[in-house]
């Protein structure tokens, strides 16, 4: 039997404030029904009849945290693809090629900030590996740190099994890094997988992140869900994790005209990117 909770008792302000406070995501009032139905569909699975009962469950210590992570996975958008915004990848390729041409030994580090199910960090790793293979440099290393707030999304990324329909997103020059599992599924080669490390990370906790310096911070299609104040706070927070001359690559739709001390805007095609002076 399906329970229909009393939707009139749904407290939009309370639920949306919790989401904002815990992960920074804002759900505008026009999207109240999205919030309501996502929460309700989870309640239905658990057989919970009222929103207030489910609120208690979510806020109940460690078991509440586990349930929160289930719900969060449903409330966040994991839409992604391989090489999603090509000009941004070209920027990385240009930078890495320049470093390759000038140095015999180096370690290039990229942070794929909200990597969803892994397509983004694997695209970056395939790109760097292909450029490295095309050079005569042996002492060149690279690594991609791939983080997201959603554990289920990260676990799909770590498993690295993708539907064959997605191959179309990957240009032929990079397909050498893929292996067919069966007629429907492919996976990413071990050599690439080994260069990508997945881990849980909440952007709101940026100040707690250990101090690693990256050549590139690749942060696309997540800030769009945050308030202007949160976006600025996070963008300012990223500066601490960039090497001098390192790039912050956003998606053009992520934020309007952000200006910040020591960050110089890079003008390249339709990208939104900055370099730390
Ligand atoms: C639309 S996907 C973008 C994926 C990829 N960056 C791309 O451009 O294709 C947004 C991702 O942001 C993640 N996300 C949402 N809030 C977050 C937070 N507070 N901290 C870290 N990641 C978050 C979601 O779990 C989701 O996987």
DSSP 85: S
Closest CA to 211 of 243, 180, 182, 188: 243
Residue pair 203/234 in contact (Cβ under 8 Å)? The answer is yes
**Which of the four pLDDT bands, split at 50, 70 and 90, describes residue 62?**
confident
Q: What is the pLDDT of residues 232-265, one digit of tens each?
A: 999 999 999 999 999 999 999 999 889 999 999 9
pTM (2 d.p.): 0.94
pLDDT tens digits, 106-119: 999 999 999 999 99
Backbone dihedral region for residue 207 (phi beyond 0: left; psi -120 to 50: alpha; all else: beta): alpha
Predicted confidence at residue 1, as pLDDT, reads 56
Q: Which domains does the chain have, with CATH numbers?
A: 7-75 (1.10.155), 86-276 (3.40.50.150)
Residue 130, pLDDT above cutoff 60: yes
Nearest to residue 76, comparing CAs of 21, 145, 24? 24
- Choose one of 92, 112, 117, 148 to mutate for the ligand 1 pocket test, by most ligand atoms within 8 angstroms of C-beta: 148
For all residues of the chain together, what is the average pLDDT? 94
How much distance in Å is there from the Cα of 113 to the middle of ligand 1? 8
3-state secondary structure of 250: strand
The CA 218 to ligand 1 mean position distance, Å, reads 12
At 63, is the pLDDT very low, low, confident or very high (cuts 50, 70, 90)?
A: confident
**DSSP single-letter state for residue 40:** H
133: Cβ–Cβ under 8 A, 6 or more apart, which residues? none
Interacting residues of 21 by C-beta distance below 8 A, sequence separation 6+: none
At residue 4, the pLDDT reads 66
Closest CA to 199 of 157, 151, 156, 147: 147
What residues flank ligand 1, with Cβ below 6 Å? 23-25, 76-80, 84, 114-116, 120, 148-150, 153, 201-204, 220-222
Q: Which residue has the tokens 């890094």?
A: 177
What number is the average pLDDT over the span 216-243? 95
Atom of ligand 1 nearest to the CA of 24: 19
Give the mean model confidence (pLDDT) for residues 111-134: 97
Q: What is the distance between the alpha carbons of residues 222 and 138, in angstroms, rounded to a whole number?
A: 36
Read off the pLDDT band of 209 (50, 70, 90). confident
- DSSP3 helix / strand / coil % (the chain, rounded to 5): 50, 20, 30
């Amino acid at each position: 039997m399906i329970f229909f909770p009393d939707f009139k008792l749904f407290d939009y302000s309370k639920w949306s404030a919790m989401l904002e406070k815990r992960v920074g995501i804002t759900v505008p009032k026009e999207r109240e029904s999205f919030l309501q139905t996502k929460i309700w569909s989870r309640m239905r699975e658990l057989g919970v009849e009222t929103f207030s009962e489910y609120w208690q469950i979510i806020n109940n210590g460690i078991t509440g945290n586990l349930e929160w992570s289930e719900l969060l996975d449903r409330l966040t958008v994991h839409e992604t693809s391989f090489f999603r915004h090509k000009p941004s990848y070209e920027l990385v390729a240009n930078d890495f090629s320049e470093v390759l041409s000038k140095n015999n030994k180096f370690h290039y580090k990229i942070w794929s900030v909200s990597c969803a199910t892994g397509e983004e960090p694997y695209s970056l790793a395939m790109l760097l590996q292909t450029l490295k293979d095309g050079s005569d440099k042996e002492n060149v290393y690279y690594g991609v740190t791939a983080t997201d707030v959603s554990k289920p999304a990260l676990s799909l990324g770590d498993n690295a099994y993708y539907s064959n329909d997605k191959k179309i997103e990957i240009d032929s020059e990079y397909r050498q890094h893929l292996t067919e599992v069966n007629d429907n599924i492919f996976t990413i080669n071990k050599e690439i997988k080994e260069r990508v490390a997945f881990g849980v990370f909440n952007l709101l906790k940026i100040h707690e992140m250990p101090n690693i310096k990256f050549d590139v911070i690749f942060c696309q299609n997540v800030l769009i869900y945050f308030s202007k104040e949160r976006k600025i706070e996070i963008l300012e927070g990223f500066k601490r994790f960039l090497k001098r001359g390192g790039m912050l690559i956003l998606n053009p739709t992520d934020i309007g005209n952000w200006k910040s001390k020591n960050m110089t805007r890079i003008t390249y095609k339709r990208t939104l990117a900055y370099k730390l002076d």
